[in-house]
């Protein structure tokens, strides 16, 4: 971290010879060299760098535990931690939290933007009290409540020839540059692959990405057209992205989920009420 044994000694409040002895003892214990010694300088070996990375990760884990303990000790009132997909955290979640905060002013709220595979882990490990994401199969101990189902859209840059169509069909994508999904979740990945592959043997993918906003951004940058979820459309219209209904069986299902014991919490129950109230009147256009 300091670059020199003298700097390490100063940081640890010991002498430089003590640092040399500590390094020698650690290397003897590990059975490999941490540094190569050339011209009086210590340069980390590949093995040393790998070991340092592991040590650093463990120290960060310990620091994380300390932060959690501090938070638990110092919080004046019970808070709420929400795990949420990034695209929902920037579109659906703000009005939900506005409704919730109006009834619970002063309650600390933490928003953890995570991808779908991480949602379940966050709930099971009690890192989150409640989550909003694309739906996933029910798991013991986790309640999953469907909020809404939406059809896929086709996004294109303003001025693109497909923007003249009221509805875009799979065959309209033949020959187009396409921005596609990386298969990292239960997104409608297989359905999309099947739809696009039905138009031509080798679809012309220009970019593959795993987040909705990145996908829209690539469209805005003129890199191609894309089959997209509808939430981010209102954000990207101002950046020259046009969306049209896409005639397909691709459907996105969104859900509210929480540990089975979580609904006993007054805050989680109240948050659920806010979610259902906002979803009932949510507009994808405004």
79-111: pLDDT as tens digits? 899 999 999 999 999 999 999 999 999 898 999
Q: 127: which DSSP letter?
A: S
Could you give the CA distance from residue 127 to residue 93 in angstroms, rounded to a whole number? 18
Instruction: Report the Cα 119 to chain-centroid distance in Å.
Output: 9
What does pTM read for this prediction? 0.70
Task: Specify whether the CB–CB gap between 229 and 243 falls below 8 A.
Answer: no
Say which CATH topology domain 5-74 has: Arc Repressor Mutant, subunit A (1.10.10)
pLDDT, residue 38, reads 76
Q: 265: which DSSP letter?
A: S
Instruction: Report the Cα 138 to chain-centroid distance in Å.
Output: 20
Residue 224 CB burial class (10 angstroms; 0-12, 13-18, ≥19): buried
pLDDT, residue 115, reads 84
Kindly state which CATH superfamily the domain 80-133+261-280 is placed in: Periplasmic binding protein-like II (3.40.190.10)
pLDDT, residue 265, reads 80
Backbone angle region of 169, left / alpha / beta, with phi > 0 → left and psi within -120 to 50 → alpha: beta
Mean pLDDT of the chain: 86
Closest CA to 267 of 32, 101, 120: 101
Pairing of strands 177-181, 204-209: parallel
> Does residue 201 register a pLDDT over 50?
yes
75: confidence class by pLDDT, cuts 50, 70, 90: very low
pLDDT, residue 81, reads 92
The listed range with the strongest mean pLDDT (55-59, 202-206, 263-267, 275-279) is 275-279
Instruction: Report the Cα 204 to chain-centroid distance in Å.
Output: 27
Q: Concatenate the DSSP letters of all residues of 79-92 into one string.
A: -EEEEE-HHHHTTT
Residue 163 CB burial class (10 angstroms; 0-12, 13-18, ≥19): middle
Total Cβ atoms within 10 A of residue 36: 12
Percent share of the chain, pLDDT over 70: 88
> Does residue 160 register a pLDDT over 90?
yes
Domain with CATH 1.10.10.10 in the chain: 5-74
Domain with CATH 3.40.190.10 in the chain: 80-133+261-280, 153-249
CATH class of 153-249: alpha beta
Residue 90 CB burial class (10 angstroms; 0-12, 13-18, ≥19): middle
User: Which residues are paired to 153 by β-bridges?
Assistant: 228, 245
Task: Give the residue with greater pLDDT, 230 vs 1.
Answer: 230
pLDDT, residue 2, reads 79
**Half-sphere exposure of residue 158: CA atoms within 13 angstroms, side-chain side:** 7
What H or E segment, with its residue span, contains residue 177? strand 177-181
Closest CA to 285 of 212, 236, 240: 236
């Amino acid at each position: 971290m300091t670059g020199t044994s003298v700097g390490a000694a100063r940081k640890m409040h010991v002498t430089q010879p003590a640092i040399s002895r500590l390094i020698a003892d650690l290397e003897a214990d590990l059975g490999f060299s941490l540094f190569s010694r050339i011209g009086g300088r210590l340069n980390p070996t590949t093995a040393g760098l790998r070991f340092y990375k592991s040590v650093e990760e463990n120290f960060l884990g310990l620091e994380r535990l300390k932060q959690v303990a501090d938070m638990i000790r110092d919080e004046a009132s019970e808070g709420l931690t929400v795990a949420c997909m990034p695209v929902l955290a920037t579109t659906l979640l703000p009005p939900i939290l506005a409704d919730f905060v109006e009834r619970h002013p002063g309650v600390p709220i933490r928003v953890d933007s995570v991808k779908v595979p991480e949602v379940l882990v966050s709930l099971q490990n009690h890192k989150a009290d409640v989550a909003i994401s694309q739906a996933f199969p029910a798991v013991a101990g986790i309640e999953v409540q469907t909020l809404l189902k939406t059809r896929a859209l086709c996004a294109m840059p303003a001025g693109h020839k497909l923007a003249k169509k009221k509805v875009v069909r799979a065959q309209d994508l033949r020959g187009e540059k396409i921005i596609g999904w990386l298969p990292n979740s239960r997104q409608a990945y297989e359905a999309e692959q099947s739809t696009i592959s039905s138009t031509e043997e080798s679809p012309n993918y220009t970019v593959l990405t795993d987040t909705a906003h990145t996908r829209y951004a690539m469209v805005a940058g003129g890199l191609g057209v894309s089959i997209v979820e509808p939430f981010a459309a209102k954000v990207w219209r101002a950046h020259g992205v046009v969306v049209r209904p896409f005639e397909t069986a691709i459907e996105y299902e969104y859900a509210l989920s929480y540990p089975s014991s979580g609904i006993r919490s007054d805050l989680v129950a109240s948050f659920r009420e806010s979610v259902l109230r906002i979803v009932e009147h949510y507009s994808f256009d405004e």
